[in-house]
Amino acid sequence: MNCPSCEKEVAPDSVLCSWCNVFIPVPEKGKKAGFFARFIALLIDPLIAVILVFIGTGIIGGIFSIISDKLGAIMGITAAVVLPILYLIWFLTLLKEGVTPGKRILGLHVVNYQTGENPGLGKMILREIVGRIISMLFLSLGYWWALFDKNSQAWHDKLAGTIVLKAEK
């Protein structure tokens, strides 16, 4: 089989061209996402939540404590509850699109391994929750697996039947 982009020979069971990194089933979807970019996206996701909680509660609590210390404490606690819920709603909305906040920021997206289509909310929840727990086992071997896999799939990708791509400009 030849790559539709660079026309070089590709291994028969590979969905990524080893020469130009294009996603062979649907080249317009993008190229292989780098391991480092995927790692940074993984770090960004909880970082956004932490920043929202600490800055949100600090700012909101601080502003309202000018009026009253009691009101500031109440508003700070309210923000500490409401902001994570809003972040979770945003996170789930993005999952339906095949991205997380970190992936969106870095221009990465998750697609179905065989078709290149959006994997949907169910597969993304399987990938992001169950799959990531499995990938963390045995000194995070499941994450490192992506470095050696011919299709750059970590264990959570294999479980959900997905692959991560860098969107073409």
Does position 169 have pLDDT exceeding 80, yes or no? no
* pLDDT digit string, tens, across residues 109-120: 999 999 999 999
* pLDDT digit string, tens, across residues 75-98: 988 988 899 899 999 999 999 999
Share of the chain above pLDDT 70, in %: 99
Please state, in angstroms and rounded to a whole number, the distance separating the CA atoms of residues 82 and 80.
Answer: 6
What is the per-residue pLDDT for 53? 84
Please state, in angstroms and rounded to a whole number, the distance separating the CA atoms of residues 63 and 122.
Answer: 40
- Mean pLDDT score across all residues of the chain: 93
What is the per-residue pLDDT for 80? 86
Please state, in angstroms and rounded to a whole number, the distance separating the CA atoms of residues 65 and 24.
Answer: 57
User: What amino acid is encoded at 33 in this protein?
Assistant: A
Q: Summarize the confidence of residues 44-56 as an average pLDDT.
A: 89
Cα 41 from chain centroid (whole Å): 6
What is the per-residue pLDDT for 168? 77
User: Would you place residue 55 in the very low, low, confident or very high pLDDT band (cuts 50, 70, 90)?
Assistant: confident
Is pTM beyond 0.75 here?
yes
What is the per-residue pLDDT for 115? 95
